[in-house]
């Protein structure tokens, strides 16, 4: 059986635990595969991302636990690159790369799309309305399609983090969906894997994962592939909403998910997941 999480942070960026503590917790929670994905260097904009120095230590730590616990869990070395930060190449070092958009440009400054309700209002004010903001945001996400070494698209509709009660947009707004669908089409075209990401649930900001189930259904209906990740920043949350997400994924029609192996990503029947 498989239990996988490929989106994991640590003290080297904005996570709360060491690489080893996260690994031990994953073993305890019955994970068979754990991938680390520290925030790649984007220091000019993002203070939480890893400096080059921290990146070296991060890599060393992950490779150490990989060896130390190899009989108990399969550890992979990944990185989460921001589209505005350093562009990484696997180069036989990284096992996989997550590509994400965390910021949009508002005038001279970059604002974090996942920071707060207040900042989301600020961004919407800058763009004039939510749809214009969404257009700009999804244009950025589309760029991930052309990052050849990126395997997984991180939290594709992160811009809706503070839209739980549809304060900014109705999730079924046709204009909004059109923007998201165009972006999804491009990413499917380049064979990117979409993650179902429960990170905002762990932080108490959402009740359901990214992407919204309408988008997830669209991804399924158009042949997109997925994996399930907790975007873990705190070890207790490694399996946050895991079982519920598996149900949601199946409700959207998926019968398989992507699994990382030493030979790269392979598709596995959903029944094989714990
Ligand atoms: Zn992220
Ligand atoms: Zn992350």
Among the ranges given (23-32, 62-71, 198-207, 257-266), the one the predictor scored with the smallest mean pLDDT: 198-207
Each residue of 143-198: pLDDT tens digit?
Answer: 999 999 999 999 999 999 999 999 999 999 999 999 999 999 999 999 999 999 99
Q: Residue 4 forms beta bridges with which residues?
A: 33
| Distance from the alpha carbon of residue 231 to the mean position of ligand 1, in angstroms | 7
Report the C-alpha gap between 168 and 227 in whole angstroms: 28
Burial of 100 (0-12, 13-18, 19+ CB in 10 A): buried
Cα of 26 vs centre of ligand 2, distance in Å, is: 17
Compute the average pLDDT of residues 262-269.
Answer: 98
Band (34; pLDDT cuts 50, 70, 90): very high
Measured in angstroms, how far is the CA atom of residue 53 from the centroid of ligand 2?
A: 19
CATH superfamily of domain region 4-99+149-161+192-272: Metal-dependent hydrolases (3.20.20.140)
d(CA 75, CA 90): 16
Confidence of residue 109 (pLDDT cuts 50, 70, 90): very high
d(CA 70, CA 81): 26
Dihedrals φ, ψ of 237, to 5°?
Answer: -95, 10
Q: Could you tell me if 143 and 103 are in contact, meaning their C-beta atoms sit under 8 angstroms apart?
A: no
Number of residues assigned to the chain? 274
pLDDT band at 101 (very low <50, low <70, confident <90, very high): very high
The reported pLDDT for the residue numbered 124 is 98
Ligand nearest to the CA of 144: 1
What 3-state class would DSSP assign to 37? strand
Confidence (pLDDT) at 81: 98
**Contact call for residues 9 and 232 (beta carbons, < 8 A):** yes
Q: Which ligand is nearest to the CA of 101?
A: 1
Q: Where are the beta strands (DSSP E) in the chain?
A: 4-5, 33-39, 74-82, 96-100, 103-106, 109-112, 152-153, 193-197, 225-229, 256-261, 264-269
CB 19 within 8 A of CB 58: yes
Instruction: Produce one character per residue of 187-203: b if its CB has 16 or more CB atoms within 10 Å, e if not.
Output: bbeeebbbbbbbbbbbe
CA of 272 to the centre of ligand 1 (A): 27
| pLDDT one-digit tens code per residue, 121-141 | 999 999 999 999 999 999 999
Task: Give the start-to-end residue ranges of the domains of the chain.
Answer: 4-99+149-161+192-272
- Residue 23 binned pLDDT confidence (cut-offs 50, 70, 90): very high
């Amino acid at each position: 059986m498989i239990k996988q999480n490929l989106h994991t942070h640590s003290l080297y960026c904005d996570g709360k635990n060491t690489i080893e503590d996260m690994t031990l917790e994953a073993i305890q929670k019955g994970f068979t595969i754990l991938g680390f994905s520290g925030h790649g260097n984007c220091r000019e904009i993002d203070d939480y991302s890893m400096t080059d120095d921290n990146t070296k230590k991060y890599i060393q730590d992950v490779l150490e636990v990989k060896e130390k616990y190899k009989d108990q869990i399969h550890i992979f070395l990944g990185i989460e690159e921001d589209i505005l930060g350093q562009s990484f190449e696997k180069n036989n070092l990284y096992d996989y790369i997550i590509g994400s958009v965390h910021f949009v440009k508002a005038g001279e400054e970059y604002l974090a799309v996942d920071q707060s309700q207040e900042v989301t209002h600020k961004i919407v004010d800058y763009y004039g309305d939510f749809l214009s903001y969404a257009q700009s945001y999804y244009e950025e996400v589309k760029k991930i399609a052309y990052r050849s070494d990126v395997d997984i698209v991180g939290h594709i509709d992160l811009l809706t983090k503070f839209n739980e009660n549809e304060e900014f947009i109705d999730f079924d707004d046709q204009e909004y969906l059109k923007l998201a669908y165009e972006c999804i089409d491009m990413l499917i075209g380049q064979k990117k894997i979409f993650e179902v990401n429960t990170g905002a649930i762990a932080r108490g900001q959402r009740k359901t994962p990214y992407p919204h189930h309408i988008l997830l259904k669209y991804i399924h209906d158009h042949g997109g592939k997925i994996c399930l990740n907790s975007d873990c920043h705190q070890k207790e949350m490694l399996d946050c909403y895991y079982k519920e997400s598996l149900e949601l994924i199946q409700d959207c029609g998926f019968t398989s998910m992507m699994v990382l192996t030493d030979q790269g990503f392979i598709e596995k029947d959903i029944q094989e997941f714990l």
